[in-house]
Structure 1
Amino acid sequence: MGLHGSAAATDRSGPLIRWLFATATLNVPQAASPIAFALLALGLTGEATDGAALILAMTLAQVAAVLPLSRIGRRFAPVGFLRALVLGRSLALAALALAAWLEASFGALIVLAALAGLANGAAHGYLRVILNQLVTAARLPRALGLAATLNELTFVLAPVAASGLGVVSPVFAVLMLTALGALPALLVPSVAAPDPLPALPAAPSLVGTGIGAPIALWLLCATASGAAVAAIEIGAVALALDFGFEAAYAVLFTVPLCVASAAGGLWIGIRNLRATRRMVLVQLAMMSFGTLLVALQASLPLTMVGVVMMGAVTAPLGTHYSLTLDALAPPQQRAEVFGLLRTANAVGIILTSSVLALASLSMALMLVACLMLAATLCVGVGSPAAFAGDWRR
């Protein structure tokens, strides 16, 4: 079996369409949980903000489990292991809904949320590995661009659905996001078992991870990008208030961000081309400058320009990270590297949330802009091996 599947598999659009819907529905629990968990916490403790504890537990569990679970999965077929991960997450979420219905202690809900989060990073890693067996390397940019667009739609529509269902019952909302989040187990297409892979050769790596410096560079970029986007999504209400609007006007910032990001994904899907090193540096610089414009809050138009700049390069950068890590990672480590890519984004969200909780929005945005600039400079002066597609260099 080649790196990107057989010719027969790459000529069929049906499996790819199923994969695209699988990746979109895999994100439903994470996209809807901030609203669903807030409504759940409101009914149990009287404080909607307690829902953040459930999100934090879920995210920290993902960060902790991504490498162990991804390495365990090497012993099994990717599709079967992915289905097991998705079903395990669904059972944990269903148990959380049942515990909430029975009015169990909030500590028990936190434990169940953590159990539900364990599989998130590894599941994304194995789903991405499966894509390599569905399309040729030449078609990967288009597939990833379309996936990025569907991902944006999921993160726009899932919270709206959670809010509407939560009016009926918060427990019902959690059950519905559980059902939707279980769909990848049914949708993911079957692929042929990959050929046995040789043992990993000895290579310089970050202590305890087996991940080399070129891979770590792009994980740093993914963390910075995730932190920058999260600053807008989490800080949108504060931005609206700073400009003298009511909280409901937060959509002035979140909607342009999502629309620009979806447009960027479509652009990648239509062009189906990998970015050059120069283009990547320009995109990273745009993300840095856009974040800086938002942090300065000089005027509403300039701030919105910054938001659009950030959104426009979010999908292209995410696609580049995925394609580059695909080339850099040895086949035995692809699932864990893709899982780490997803987790790096989650780490960026944690960083932004922490700074926003401890300091002002402007300070958080300025720190995120500095992180983006540092990542851009690292890519600018980094080793050519980070772009060469040869993980051994």
Structure 2
Amino acid sequence: MTDKSILGEQPGAGPAPAVRGALARWTSSLALLNVPKAAGPIAFSLLSLPLTGDPTSGAAIMLAMTCAQLAGAVPITRLGRNCNAVLFFKVLLTLRTAALGGMVALALAKAPFVLLVSVAALAGLVDGAAFSFLRSILRYLIADRQIVRALAVGSTLNEVTFVAAPVAASALSTISPSLAVLVSVLLGAAPLLLIPSIPAAVIPKMDRTPQPRGMPGSGLWLLCSCASGAAVGAIEVGAVAIAIRFGFEPELAVIFTVALCLASISGGAWISFTNRMIRRERVALLLLSMAAGSAMVALEHSVVATVVGCLLVGAVIAPLSTYYSVAIEGLAPPDKWAEAFALLRTANSFGLVLATATLTWAPLEYGLALGAACSTVAFMAATGAIMAAHRDHR
């Protein structure tokens, strides 16, 4: 049996209204929201290439967006705490769309590259908060029994987005890099139309309810989310270097990233099919799988072993991210939901940035070892907390 608090059953949220196709609307919105970020590494690089002559300049734009997201996620989410969640989400998404559209206009006008980076940072500033409000809106669109399935389907579609968007961006860039970015921006704005207005999506401020005894606190799941970001980031960012290390052409780095994504899609499909929240004991096993897979990748023993490591990590991405999200929701009072989701997003992004920075400034071995170390720490922390919870229940 799963604790009701873990399922996020909190007072004050009210019943979910009957919205036609609500599950499809929300999961599609989650996937489309991330299209600009998924297409960005390729689309932004090709957009800025005529201005800088450097094919890696798109990384500066992505870094500016990510750092701004880390800085703005929680403060901006707090600003909208007492607002209608749908309205505030649409305001944030409109601002992001305008900023990214402005970046395209600046590129067409041959503006200095620093202006493109600055405008991209403005888009990133509201990106984390927009995600947190989209996640909090889910409670008002579907019934409690559909929450786990919605998160799993959303995670699966999100992986599809991160596989398909770069390919589509590359194809469109053969016509025009500006067109590739513009299409990704418009697709990213689609949730403005998909998410319906919900007047009831305002949660009154309420006293913080104490956490049930024996339940690991939110800090544990934030730590685990950070570790997941580091483990996945080490593989995704280090894939090209890993391929070269094995004597392959850089293009064959897709062997590792595709293995990661396909396994993640499979994990999301499994959670979607079962529509059940995993037990806390199994969370520790999933973290063990992530730690073992990260270690296999870090050892670089052989191509087969490295691919198996990618599969072990990828298979647990969706189940773990679903658990983190629902667990954080269950631990936070309703008026803190959006802020809690912003913290979760920030933790995951911080792990990704940490892995990226390590791989950028240190040898490949250090970046891969970081992913393995973070996964191991998360496994040990979760195991310790779960064992302590069992002792408290005796």
TM-score, structure 1 normalization: 0.91
| Structure 2 contact 22–142 (Cα < 8 Å) conserved | no
Given that 1:5 and 1:134 are in contact with CA atoms closer than 8 Å, whether structure 2 keeps it comes out as: no
**Among candidates 354, 359, 362, match of residue 351 of structure 1:** 354
- Counterpart residue type for residue 128 of structure 1: R
Distance 1:227 1:73 in 2: 29
Partners of 1:241 and 1:41 lie apart in 2 by 26
Q: CA contact under 8 A between 1:141 and 1:269: conserved in structure 2?
A: yes
- Does 1:267 find its partner at 2:276? no
Counterpart position of 1:391 = none
Partner SS, residue 74 of structure 1: coil
- Is 2:223 aligned against 1:229? no
Q: Which residue number corresponds to residue 156 of structure 2?
A: 149
Matched, 1:102 2:109: yes
Please list the CA deviations of residues 17-70 of structure 1 after superposition, one character each: whole Å capped at 9, or x if unmatched: 111111111011111111111112212100011111111110111111111111
Match of 1:366 in 2: 369
| AA of the residue aligned to 1:49 | T
Report the CA distance between 1:352 and its aligned residue: 0.7
Return the alpha-carbon distance in structure 2 between the equivalents of residues 195 and 186 of structure 1.
20
2:128 corresponds to 1:125: no
Deviations 1:145-166 (A, max 9, x none): 1111100111011111111111
In structure 2, what is the Cα distance between the partners aligned to 1:374 and 1:77? 38
Give the 3 Å change call, closer, same or farther, for CA 121–105 of structure 1 in structure 2.
Answer: same
SS in 2 for 1:86: helix
Q: Which residue of 1 aligns with 2:258?
A: 255
Q: Is the 8 A contact 2:82 2:202 kept in 1?
A: no
- Of residues 125-134 and 359-368 in structure 1, the stretch that sits farther from structure 2 once superposed is 359-368
Partner of 1:382: 385
Aligned mates of 1:312, 1:84 — CA distance in 2: 35
- 1:318 lines up with 2:318 in the alignment: no
Matches within 5 A, 1:9-158: 9=18, 14-158=21-165
Alignment-mate amino acid for residue 273 of structure 1: R
**Structure 1 residue 6 corresponds to structure 2 residue 6:** no
C-alpha change, 1:5 and 1:257, in structure 2 (3 Å) is farther
Amino acid in structure 1 at the alignment position of 2:366:
M
Distance 1:285 1:301 in 2: 20
Match of 2:312 in 1: 309
* Structure 1 residues without counterparts, runs of 5 or longer: 205-211, 388-393
12-21 or 217-226: which moved more? 12-21
Determine if contact 1:5/1:135 at 8 Å carries over to the other structure: no
User: Secondary structure of the residue that 2:62 maps to in structure 1?
Assistant: helix
Aligned partner letter, 1:350? V
Report the residue type matching 1:147 in the other structure: G
Number of residue-to-residue matches in the alignment: 378
Displacement of 1:200 in angstroms is 4.2
Structure 2 portions without partners, runs of 5+: 1-9
RMSD: 2.1
1:169 has 2:172 as partner: no
Aligned to 2:4: none
Q: 1:253 to 1:4 in 2, by over 3 A?
A: farther
Local SS of the residue matching 1:107: helix
Q: Deviations over 1:121-174 (max 9, x none)?
A: 111111111111122222211111111110011101111111111122212211
* Cα distance change on mapping 1:7 and 1:335 into 2, 3 Å: closer
Structure 2 Cα separation of the partners of residues 287 and 3 of structure 1:
36
Matched, 1:159 2:172: no
With over 3 angstroms needed to count, the CA separation of the structure-2 counterparts of 1:273 and 1:300, relative to structure 1, is same
Secondary structure at 2:196's aligned position in 1? coil
| Letter in structure 2 aligned against 1:31 | A
Q: Distance in 1 between matches of 2:16 and 2:113?
A: 51
In the alignment, is the contact (CA less than 8 A) between 2:15 and 2:140 conserved in 1?
Answer: yes
1:82-132 deviation per Cα after TM superposition (whole angstroms, max 9, x unaligned): 110111000000110001110111111111010010111111111111111
Query: C-alpha deviations, 1:287-317, integer Å up to 9, x for none?
Result: 0010000000111111111110000001000
Provide the C-alpha distance between the structure 2 equivalents of 1:16 and 1:36, rounded to a whole number of angstroms: 30
User: What is the identity, as a one-letter code, of the residue corresponding to 1:315?
Assistant: A
Give the letter aligned to residue 261 of structure 2.
C
State the secondary structure of the residue aligned to 2:141. Answer: coil
Distance apart, 1:282 and its partner CA? 0.2
Corresponding residue number in structure 2 for 1:390: none
Give, in whole Å, the separation in 1 of the partners of 2:202 and 2:101: 36
Contact in 2 for aligned 1:4/1:135 (Cα 8 Å)? no
Contact 2:94-2:189 at 8 Å conserved across structures: yes
Residue 207 of structure 1 corresponds to which residue in structure 2?
none
Deviation at 1:350, TM superposition (A): 0.7
Cα 1:137/1:4, change in 2 over 3 Å: farther
TM-score between both structures, scaled by the size of structure 2: 0.91
CA contact (8 A) 1:197 1:332 kept: yes
Counterpart of 1:215 (choices 215, 218, 241) is 218
